[in-house]
Amino acid sequence: MAVEKEGCDFREAPASAGMLNFLFHGLHRGVMLVNLITGREKIALNNVIIIGSGCAGLTSAIYAGRANLKPLVIDGLEPGGQLALTTMVENFPGFPDGILGPELIENMRKQAQRFGAEFKSGAITDVDLSKRPFKITAGNETYETLSLIIASGATARLIGLESERKLIGYGVSTCATCDGYFFRNKDIAVVGGGDSAMEEANFLSRFANKVYLVHRRSEFRASKIMVDRARANEKIQFVTPVVVEDIRDVSKGGVEKMILRNTQTKAVSELPVEGVFVAIGHEPNTKVFRGKLDMDENGYLLTHHGSQTKVPGVFAAGDVQDHHYRQAVTAAGSGCMAAIDAEKFLEAHPGL
């Protein structure tokens, strides 16, 4: 029976291919029309979203991809993490001759893509973990997910000099454990006055000829035992109270000296060094999670039973929850843990 233009009854229409096609496209146009009127588009639901694309995030992506979870990775504030700013990495297993940090990150990214991981650029501006599915906002984009892995890392605090930024990886470093070996028998400086600075100065004295500990005050935030240990080290010389005015020489692509200004006398001096280690702390990239997840006093996410946070289905990996080790290999290991935890969570909650 033909369908009349007015008062048609679809129950009487034959189930022909043409009619099914008509119904499908009609409904499709209807959805499009509603979207145009309301300004809303349907948001795809993800099994797992990974925030961050450093070692932890990319390892999570590899494992989640191999579990057929089709992970979505949002690059975050620092695409590639700290390794993207590093030159040679010699302590990551499997590379006897070392590997460049950006190359290692690119290899891990390709490996994740091979197993089905999708990547989106952007920094996270808001999250809603109060109901399911979780909503993640990055600028104008909103994503929904059944589980979430936070691997947004921690950003090393820097002095704030333009020359410092340009010489990162070329004589300026924020990781003594990573780069100390490259400064064998050289004169170097550590900038900072806390326990981390004292610890790094002592560690670097194993390799360097001389370590200058540069601090803006004559007093230190570090514990007395750490200060005493550094003072007892004949290779460490304290340079206080001074601030770093400049690090040279950018034009030569390496560190040759520091320009210092005494905070009391205002006198300017030069300190010849071939390396500068900035040890004034790290800032975990957790601002959008404040009040939503448990953190310690410094803003690092608290986890339990592996990578679990206080919200079921939300996991944390890498430096965002580790202020002690901060190594590429430990970040990769915790990324693996988070992906496995997310997989087990989704298996245990199939009705989400």
Backbone phi and psi for residue 174, each to the nearest 5 degrees, phi listed first: -120, 15
The yes-or-no answer on residue 336 being catalytic is: no
Q: 12-48 b/e with 16+ CB inside 10 Å = b?
A: eeeeeeeeeeeeeeeeeeeeeeeeeeeeeeeeeebbb
For 183, counting Cβ atoms within 10 Å of its Cβ (0-12 exposed, 13-18 middle, 19+ buried), the class is buried
Q: Considering the candidates 175, 319, 336, 341, report the single residue annotated as catalytic.
A: 175
The yes-or-no answer on residue 55 being catalytic is: no
Q: Considering the candidates 75, 179, 246, 319, report the single residue annotated as catalytic.
A: 179
Coil, strand, or helix at residue 189? strand
C-alpha distances (whole Å) from 159 to each of 179, 192, 280, 299 are 19, 10, 8, 20
Q: Considering the candidates 55, 75, 178, 322, report the single residue annotated as catalytic.
A: 178
79, two tokens: 């695409």
Coil, strand, or helix at residue 146? strand
Residues acting as catalytic residues: 175, 178-179
